[in-house]
Amino acid sequence: MFRGFYTVASGMLAQQRKTEMLSNNMAGANTPGFKADQASLRAFPAMLLNRIDQKTIPTESGLNLPVNNRVGALNTGVYMQEAIPKFIQGDPRETGLNTDLALIDINMPVNRENGQKGSVFFTVEGADGKPHYTRNGNFTLDGLGFLTTASGQYVLDDQGNRIQLSSENFKVNDTGLVTDETGARARIGIGYSDNPLELIKEGDGLYRTEDGTALNSAYNTEGIQFKTQQGFLEDSNVDINQTMTDMLSSYRAFEANQKVLQAYDRSMEKAANEIGKL
């Protein structure tokens, strides 16, 4: 009986965490470059139940032999193992602003180990001074003319330096080369990850490598094709309709587990208050 409590509670917790993940996806649906998460649900190890019995052989001394009867497998619950980002490119949306940039994936090799395509990212300077990465190209210029993200991180060039411009009247071509009124300034730093699932997701749409090292430059990596598009932003890849459907399904699953828990509770109450009096 008590095992049922634990099984139902694990199901409720898993659905609660999945709902929180889906709510976060909905909250980021209008954030440029946002990548939706997918829930990975796993079952706890199943137990193989056996019943130990005795078989009596009719002899003069009455011989009893132990018998092991298989009952079957019993699942002990479920849990949400991890939230896995989907690095599918979002649709480009024209804004007409010079400071807005979008990365357009043309050809990204498939990782043979996990079957996932690689991905390219803008390189920015994190608060710790180490390179961080983002698909959100909603940039701006600060008071000193440095190109920064909306949350204040400096955008880096392909040499790891900050990009300072004379004004917002600058151009970025398809290969990431930045030119302003004074001429060529720098090339936007673009990092490439052949397995973006290994990146650690942080706030403000930023990612970092596990050990803090820099990704390889996308310009020096063979076999990939991409371009930077000025005056565009990459929309999030959140499918709002599908996310709403998944949220309703998750809520119904939570509600079903809740009703089972209430049934267990009523059974235990009857066992304690009525059967226990006999």
DSSP letters for 186-198: EEB-EEEES-GGG
- Give yes or no: residues 78 and 93 share one domain: no
The rounded distance, in Å, linking the Cα atoms of 143 and 176 is: 23
Structural domain ending residue among the three candidates 48, 67, 86: 86
The closest alpha carbon to 95, from 133, 124, 134, 138, belongs to 138
pLDDT digits 0-9 by tens, 98-157: 999 999 999 998 888 878 889 999 999 988 889 999 999 999 999 999 999 988 999 999
What range defines the domain where residue 14 resides?
1-86
- Give yes or no: residues 96 and 225 share one domain: yes
pLDDT confidence bin for 49, thresholds 50/70/90? low
- Give yes or no: residues 68 and 107 share one domain: no
- Residue 36 forms part of a structural domain: yes
**pTM exceeds 0.75, yes or no:** yes
- Residue 271 forms part of a structural domain: no
- Residue 224 forms part of a structural domain: yes
- Give yes or no: residues 81 and 93 share one domain: no
User: Residue 60: what pLDDT?
Assistant: 63
The rounded distance, in Å, linking the Cα atoms of 20 and 23 is: 5
pLDDT digits 0-9 by tens, 152-204: 999 999 999 999 998 888 999 999 999 988 887 899 999 999 999 999 988 88
Structural domain ending residue among the three candidates 36, 60, 86: 86
- Residue 174 forms part of a structural domain: yes
- CA-based R_g, the chain, Å: 28
pLDDT digits 0-9 by tens, 196-224: 999 998 888 899 998 888 999 999 888 89
pLDDT above 60 for 1: no
User: Residue 58: what pLDDT?
Assistant: 63
Return the amino acid letter for 123: T
- Give yes or no: residues 99 and 78 share one domain: no
Q: How many domains does the chain have?
A: 2
- Give yes or no: residues 125 and 34 share one domain: no
- How many CB atoms within 10 Å of residue 202? 13
Residue 65 buriedness (CB in 10 A; 0-12 / 13-18 / 19+): exposed
- Give yes or no: residues 82 and 138 share one domain: no
β-pairing verdict for 183-187 and 177-180:
antiparallel
